[in-house]
Amino acid sequence: MTNTAIIGAGVMGETLLSGLLRAGADPASLLVGEKREARARELEEKYGVTVVSNVEAAKGADTVALIVKPQDMGAVLEELADHLAPGQLVVSLAAGITTAFIESHLADGVSVVRVMPNTPALVDEGMFAISPGSHCDQAQLDVAEQLLSSTGKVLQIPEKHQDAVTAISGSGPAYIFYVVESMVESGVHLGLPRATATELVIQTLFGSAKMLRETGTHPTVLREQVTSPAGTTAAAIRELEVHKVRAAFLSAMEAARDRSQELAAGS
């Protein structure tokens, strides 16, 4: 039985923890380090796992998943540095933090994988992009892929693309939820009951996502199929163009990419 340590069990840590349990992991094989006392008790009650110190969790683990905020990563690495040995695999899910930064804190030969996850992993529809550090071989990358694949798709990418990936799929669910909020509010503005507007928007989103995935048809073609000459959709899309929504998406994702790079620099 392999042991996995989860260091930092907030939103994303719980997402990974619950996913591993849904995939059949024995709670005894999951060692959790979480600094907030109340949160630790909550997770113990909810999942039957034991929360221990970060060092205790990491020492006994084959794989150590670091899921604290980028700003907390330096402190956690300093705490764990003397307790991690070659043969253990460190998997970081933090935005911006490079494998070089992590390796610089750890003993030579400790393997590192950088991951950009997203929250839909909570419903087994996550998107994970993974990149190996300098001591990580293909077999260890496959271990990381195996760990994550129970809760979503896993793509192996060069680390130089991680900041762009963070802007697209890491932060992406927030943009989609923002669009959903905006469409629901619009429905309410047009006189629909909120519950009706919400149901309409969620099913439309789900159906559209399923069409994209299952037909493999280009999104432009799918949009054109909905857009009748002089029809309602053309009137709506014209407004999105007038308000430069496409350009706003480009700027937003550039800002997220840039912020990921700033996090790497420690700000």
Ligand X SMILES: O=C(O)[C@@H]1CCC=N1
Q: Which is nearer to ligand NAI, 125 or 199 (CB)?
A: 125
Q: Using CA atoms, how far apart are residues 185 and 24, in angstroms rounded to an integer?
A: 40
Residue 9 in marked binding region? yes
State how beta strands 30-33 and 152-156 pair. unpaired
**Smallest gap from residue 95 Cβ to ligand X (A):** 4
Among 5, 6, 12, 197, binds ligand NAI (CB under 6 A): 12
The backbone torsions φ and ψ at residue 111, rounded to the nearest 5 degrees and listed phi first, read -85, 140
With a CB cutoff of 8 Å and minimum separation 6, the contacts of 210 are: none
Based on CB atoms, which residue is closest to ligand X, 160 or 189? Answer: 160
Min CB(118)–ligand NAI separation in Å: 5
Residue ranges in 102-161 that form contacts with ligand NAI under rule CB under 6 A? 116-119
93 vs 164 by CB, closer to ligand NAI = 93
Tokens 């996502």 identify what position?
209
Residue 10 or 87: which CB sits closer to ligand NAI? 10
Q: Quick one: what does residue 117 bind among ligand NAI, ligand X, none, with the CB cut-off 5 to 8 Å set by partner type?
A: ligand NAI
Assess contact for 149 and 121: CB atoms under 8 A: no
How far is the C-alpha of 161 from the C-alpha of 87, rounded, in Å?
Answer: 27
Cβ proximity of 135 and 111 under 8 Å: yes
> Computed over its alpha carbons, how large is the radius of gyration of the chain?
21
**Binding segment for ligand X among 164-172, 175-183, 209-217, 220-228 (CB under 6 A)?**
164-172
Contact map string, positions 194 to 233, toward ligand X, x by CB under 6 A: ----------------------------------------
Q: Give residues with Cβ within 8 angstroms of 148, minimum separation 6.
A: 16, 115, 117, 121, 126, 128, 130, 154
* Interface pick for ligand NAI out of 4, 5, 6, 9 (rule CB under 6 A): 9
**Binding site for NADPH, residues?**
54
Q: Site residues (CB under 6 A) for ligand NAI?
A: 7-13, 33-36, 39, 54, 67-70, 72, 75-76, 93-95, 116-119, 170
